[in-house]
Structure 1
């Protein structure tokens, strides 16, 4: 059985902080993989916007290598032909949706609405919003609106793109991880503890290994580094 995370090159990318102790006195375990799990608080980031992290996220999500696209395209078209031969789908190849090769970014409605108006849609990326309530009439910007992960897979079959990045929120991460649809996780560790009410989901860490750890940076009064988990 084909690994769809590899066929469609689907990645997760996120930043997480330590969680401030609750009133019950729960503490972060200093060496636990779950130490860094805070994603959000009251509809925004738990920490002050960090320019080092934002620059890193933007660079990862906008980088494409034109020379590698033909190989990716061949891999995806091979899968579609095999799927069609088994009666599981059509033989639609990647479309010419953009003049230049770009990455796809997929986000839930709350994430989309949290983006400042002047940055919508996220530039130099194909924006996809996952929502069961949002309609095209609600969104003036040029984005794709889907209502399920299954619809995302259908969309990826038809798009011309380099990589697909899942950028949140927690429920979108959770479903993609539970369905084994994530090839790698680009994970920023914000080394500070903050109140949080949204958390990165637990996942089977036996399926992933840390393949990259950056140097430690200091910004906005806290340290941070960047990990990559790979299957």
Structure 2
């Protein structure tokens, strides 16, 4: 059984993007993303699952995200992840036509270059929704959300949104639905000192949260 962890930064109204970009610039929050998605025991690695648009939003020189297995989902089976003249090796990058196909690879460790420690879903909205819809009875499903809750400003002009996972909980994903973990539980799971309470960066207030089911 493979458990997926969603990593997302969203406003109170669940806004996550604007005009195909992030509405905010939060270097410390990005540092958290990098640390949590790369942290793995020696000899293993984590996977990051994303849609094509999210992949293309990463500056070319940073693709693939280093020290992680990059899984990109696109209906275009001929989509070229890495051009032939790319400076970065194509190792640790895989193209899949669907979430189900990606989930199958994640559930079969023999199909990855290194043993997988954790698998993270990192966007965009369609991939978030599709993975949240995986039933808890399946081999691969989401059981954890690392949510950077952007508290202010409101960023009311967001045009892309994260699913309202609290409102959409159902008996299909467990009688108790989602619950917020304590900060101590968050730090223990992450394996490093996650900043506690309201953070402020570049005029934006936000908070690191972990939700589990």
TM-score range, shorter chain: 0.7 to 0.9
Q: What residue in structure 1 maps to residue 16 of structure 2?
A: 39
Q: What residue in structure 1 maps to residue 206 of structure 2?
A: 224
Q: Contact 1:38 / 1:46 at 8 angstroms: preserved in 2?
A: no
- The verdict on how the C-alpha distance between 1:227 and 1:131 changes in structure 2, with shifts beyond 3 A counting, is same
Provide the C-alpha distance between the structure 1 equivalents of 2:80 and 2:133, rounded to a whole number of angstroms.
32
Q: What residue in structure 2 maps to residue 131 of structure 1?
A: 74
**Post-superposition offset of 1:217:** 1.4
Q: What residue in structure 1 maps to residue 60 of structure 2?
A: 117
Provide the C-alpha distance between the structure 2 equivalents of 1:58 and 1:150, rounded to a whole number of angstroms.
25
Superposed, 1:26-65 pairs within 5 Å as 35-47=12-24, 49-65=25-41
**Post-superposition offset of 1:36:** 4.0
Cα RMSD (Å) of the superposition? 1.6
Q: Contact 2:81 / 2:95 at 8 angstroms: preserved in 1?
A: no
Q: 3-state DSSP class of the match of 2:116? A: coil
Q: Contact 1:128 / 1:144 at 8 angstroms: preserved in 2?
A: yes
TM-score, normalization by structure 2: 0.76
- The verdict on how the C-alpha distance between 1:138 and 1:176 changes in structure 2, with shifts beyond 3 A counting, is closer
Q: What residue in structure 2 maps to residue 207 of structure 1?
A: 177
Provide the C-alpha distance between the structure 2 equivalents of 1:138 and 1:211, rounded to a whole number of angstroms.
36
Q: 3-state DSSP class of the match of 1:175? A: helix
Q: Contact 1:129 / 1:146 at 8 angstroms: preserved in 2?
A: yes
TM-score, normalization by structure 1: 0.71
Q: 3-state DSSP class of the match of 1:122? A: coil
**Post-superposition offset of 1:50:** 0.4
Q: 3-state DSSP class of the match of 2:32? A: helix
Q: Contact 2:47 / 2:120 at 8 angstroms: preserved in 1?
A: yes
* Aligned equivalent of 1:155, options 90, 105, 111: 105
Unaligned runs of 5+ in 2: 84-88, 136-140, 170-175, 184-195
Provide the C-alpha distance between the structure 1 equivalents of 2:31 and 2:164, rounded to a whole number of angstroms.
26
* 1:177 has 2:132 as partner: yes
